[in-house]
Structure 1
Amino acid sequence: MPIATPAQYAAMLDAAQQGSYAYPAMNVTSLTTMNGALKAFAEKKSDGIIQVSTGGGQFASGLSNNDAVLGAIVLAEACHRLAERYDVLIALHTDHCQPGKVDGFLKPLIQETARRREAGLPNLFQSHMLDASELPLDENIALSKELLKLCAANEIILEVEAGVVGGEEDGVDHSDQPADKLYTTPEDMLAVYEALDGLGRYMFAATFGNVHGHYKPGSVKLRPDILKKGQDAVMQKYGEKAEFDLVFHGGSGTSVEDLQATLEYGVVKMNIDTDTQYAFTRPVVDHIMKNYDGVLKIEGEVGNKKVYDPRSYLKKAEQGVTDRMAAACDGLRSSGNTIFGKV
């Protein structure tokens, strides 16, 4: 039963917090990308998180459907079956859901879990993300409180965000945000804690200059100390129990030093999308370039079925994802830390 139960997921997050490591959380869009992630987690003996965005769900549902909820359910159900073959724990999560998509994406998925629970089945997803960072903080918190109560009633963890992750990712575009919006203040973190404490378990995507996408060294000015200052402010007022389970968005291209500094400040989950997209595509391009005359029927020739068969290059793409996710497990120190069989 490697898809984590609510209790096992909570234990995963506790173990990461206590051990100063974090779980790679990869956005998947297909069985190929999902299998690449599962293979990496298993080989590294790391528990992990597989997540679906609204855009990923639309893609997975097919061009005729373009249905984010349907695609998310299909991917999650597939993961429940595939993960049974691995001796690590996997949690399923949905990524950035903006306020305008809550009623059409988050609430139907929460309802699907409620339906499954009534039928004696496990939760479909173990956590969901509300990205209400586009709203003023008081409105963001009000919506977060509403959804946290709904999630808690179904033993689902909610991820919330205050502050803005810059750049653009899967339809969420914050590339025009002023620099000061990229840094969550200690006052913001106190406000989030005071509003959500006691309503249910949640993770917090506080921002510290992180930006979606991939940039050349020096382009992104990360300030991991922002996380420490916020954690310190909350724990000084409310004690160690108030320590946040933090989430790192926009981590592609981050130096190992900055990455591992965040682990000391309470980051337990790091999203990985841009890097794994490239890791998937790079071997496909390599295959096409090296087999150009075979994948195309040039000048009346017949091509080479062995190299234009999609399996020939998608296997390489899957392995590319595995290799990148394995490196993420090492960088985030989750390798060898599975709690499978212990909880």
Structure 2
Amino acid sequence: MNLVPMADILQDAHQKTYAVGGFNINNMEFLQGIMQGAEELNSPVILQTSEGAIRYIGMDYVIKMVEAATKNTKIPVALHLDHGSSFESIMKCIRAGYSSVMIDASKKPFAENIELTKKVVEAAHNVGVSVEAELGTIGGTEDDHTVEEKDAMYTDPDQAKEFVEATGVDALAIAIGTAHGVYVGEPELDFDRLAKIKKIIDMPVVLHGASGVSAADLQTAVKYGVNKVNVNTDFQQSFTTKIREIFAEKTELYDPRKYCGPGRDAIAEKVKEKIKTLGSNDKAW
């Protein structure tokens, strides 16, 4: 596969103050739509799979599809595990060919989060694989990953500094008011906290739960130091909305190519919208 470490992509974004999309794959059409949009705008892209998506698609299919999608591309592409839940699941992805992984031990006590993250970093860095970790807990649900609103907790800036120094992670996902899934009302992001964390750790920062966050707020987040923005729900909604529109007009339709194709195109358009918002267009090297 023609993949690059996520750290290379995010260091450029960190130095030049823009963000790159971490866009989740759910099936072949999602992968094709994401690559189409990124290539049209000459943007780096981080392809992501959750553990649930790997079970649904199959690891071999993920690897072969990404291999086909990146074979002739001219843009930097990383393949990233989103919300890795254990050392074992992360090692499976590294052995399969992922260029980046996330260990999410954010629900564990601070010391245990550090211990597990450090273990993953040591193993991953030995083979040139980047590591993202999370400090603070982001509410909502994404596949197997659920945090009740009452358990969500903002990232402490001082803990962020200690965590990064102790683990050696390449990127840190922080909690500043976003949530996974569909929002009820408008999210209120703590930009002051983001600015303080960025100043203290001076490294790539990740924003999860960006679907449903306004373009203006995303641009402000990028201005204050976010370099990777995760999007999944927005693409799922775009894909499903387009298919529903087609079935409403053509109730007799049964050929999946006639509705999955337009669904794929809807994802590509949404991808381009996100890329322009994040400022990664024409940043491919």
TM surpasses 0.5: yes
What are the residue-to-residue correspondences of 1:205-244 with 2, within 5 Å? 205-218=173-186, 220-234=187-201, 243-244=202-203
Does residue 96 (structure 1) correspond to residue 119 (structure 2)? The answer is no
Structure 1 residue 285 corresponds to structure 2 residue 244: yes
Report the alpha carbon displacement of residue 252 of structure 1 after superposing the two structures with TM: 1.1
Q: Does 1:44 align with 2:41?
A: yes
Secondary structure of the residue that 2:138 maps to in structure 1? coil
**Cross-structure match for 1:318:** 264
Partners of 2:218 and 2:59 in 1: CA distance: 29
Does the CA contact (< 8 Å) of 2:52 and 2:143 recur in 1?
yes
Matched ranges for 1:70-81 at <5 A: 71-81=58-68
State the match for 1:257 in structure 2.
216
Q: What's the TM-score once normalised by structure 1's chain length? A: 0.79
Deviations 1:12-41 (A, max 9, x none): 222211221111111112111100000000
Larger-Rg structure: 1
Partner of 2:21: 24
What amino acid does structure 1 have at the position aligned with 2:75? V
**1:297 corresponds to:** none
| CA displacement, residues 154-212 of structure 1 (integer Å, 9 cap, x when unaligned) | 1000110010011111121112434xx43101121122122024xxx521101111111
Matched residues in 1 for 2:165 and 2:42: separation? 36
Partner Cα separation in structure 1 for residue 134 and residue 92 of structure 2? 21
The CA deviation at 1:87 is: 2.2
Out of 145, 159, 184, the position equivalent to 1:172 is 145
Partner of 1:82: 69
Aligned match for 1:143, one of 111, 116, 121: 116
**If the length of structure 2 is used for normalisation, what is the TM-score?**
0.95
Deviation digits for residues 307-333 of structure 1 (CA, Å, limit 9, x no counterpart): 311100000110011011110000100
Instruction: Please tell me the residue identity of whatever aligns with 2:118.
Output: K
Alignment partner for residue 34 of structure 1, among 18, 31, 42? 31
Is the Cα–Cα contact under 8 Å of residues 3 and 70 in structure 2 kept in the other structure? no
1:75-96 deviations in Å (ceiling 9; x for gaps)? 1232122222332121110101
* Bigger RCO (CA 8 Å, 6+ sep): 2
Cα drift, residue 216 of structure 1: 4.5
Give the match's secondary structure for 1:167: strand
Check conservation: 1:202, 1:245, Cα contact below 8 A. yes
Residue 149 of structure 1 aligns to a residue in which SS? helix
Q: How do 1:115-134 residues align onto structure 2 when only pairs under 5 Å count?
A: 124-134=97-107
CA–CA distance in structure 2, aligned partners of residues 225 and 251 of structure 1? 18
Shift of 1:72: 3.1
Instruction: Give the Cα–Cα distance (whole angstroms) in 2 for the partners of residues 333 and 176 of structure 1.
Output: 31
Q: Say whether residues 1:155 and 2:101 are aligned partners.
A: no
Deviations 1:88-111 (A, max 9, x none): 121110101224xx32x2122223
Tell me, what secondary structure is at the counterpart of 1:183?
coil
Matched residue pairs, number? 285
Cα contact 1:98–1:131 (8 A) shared by 2: yes
Say if 1:233 and 1:24 are closer, same or farther in 2 by CA, change over 3 A: closer
Give the match's secondary structure for 2:84.
coil
Identity %: 28
For each residue in 1:282-327, what CA deviation from the matched residue of structure 2 results, as whole angstroms up to 9, or x when unmatched? 11111111111x1xxxxxxxxxxxx311100000110011011110
Structure 2 CA distance, aligned partners of 1:111 and 1:125?
A: 7
The one-letter amino acid of 2:188's match is K
Contact preservation (8 Å) 2:14, 2:203: no
Judged with a 3 Å threshold, the aligned counterparts in structure 2 of structure 1 residues 245 and 73 are, in CA distance, closer, same or farther, namely farther
SS at match of 1:182: coil
Instruction: List alignment gaps of at least 5 residues for structure 2.
Output: none
Counterpart position of 2:156: 185
Query: What RMSD, in angstroms, separates the aligned Cα atoms of the two structures?
Result: 1.6
